[in-house]
Structure 1
């Protein structure tokens, strides 16, 4: 094994964590509290000059949270999965579908009569 297997490099024994002297001064901050519909309270820290958003995703449950503790935003409504056929039926009536099918079948039959290879 080459190198002696030192797990920590670039640090001396007894060195503590870097302090503000090495990192520089911390920017002034503000703590903002958000509330979700599950009753979770989340405190998020922003810089003083930052524009605070009206909503924030709750880190505990993922629901939207707002600044208003009395009226947190409701959970978003989850739409059920729709099949391709369901979307088609939203756009076309049964009569339109029948007309399109008849048109496609007549085209297919005419191509077969003409000798085209149709799968």
Structure 2
């Protein structure tokens, strides 16, 4: 249990700070971004700031665009490929057989020594 002299309900930096102590905030504008699922995100930017063309939706993670009628399409994710799948893309079955035969010949030559 906390001691009797503990200050409760406060946090570091809390207090009667106002605009005068923090400085004035820049004028802001809210911009609407729309994702493919129809979610609207409204981040705020400083008036002088350049607003980005896309903004990730905080609800579903898809990219959102400025046009509600034509939001960006969801990115296409390639399925995970194994090492063997990449090897099969680079080599034909005949190449594989030739490499295997060469490796086996080297191993057999070492055994005979």
TM-score by length of 2: 0.85
The verdict on how the C-alpha distance between 1:10 and 1:62 changes in structure 2, with shifts beyond 3 A counting, is closer
4+ residue runs over 3 A deviation = 7-11
Could you list the per-position Cα deviations for residues 88-118 of structure 1 after superposition, in whole angstroms to 9, with x for gaps in the alignment? 101111011111111111111111111xxxx
Q: Which runs of 5+ in 2 are unaligned?
A: none
SS of the aligned residue for 1:108 comes to helix
CA distance in 2, matches of 1:5, 1:55: 51
Residue matched to 2:6: 6
Aligned pair 1:109/2:112, yes or no?
no
CA distance in 2, matches of 1:35, 1:63: 9
Q: Matches of residues 27-66 of structure 1 in structure 2 within 5 Å? A: 27-66=26-65
Number of aligned pairs?
Answer: 111
Q: Which runs of 5+ in 1 are unaligned?
A: 115-119
Shift of 1:62: 0.4
Could you list the per-position Cα deviations for residues 12-51 of structure 1 after superposition, in whole angstroms to 9, with x for gaps in the alignment? xxx8552212211111112111000000011011111211
Instruction: Give the CA RMSD over aligned residues.
Output: 2.4
SS of the aligned residue for 1:77 comes to coil
TM-score by length of 1: 0.81
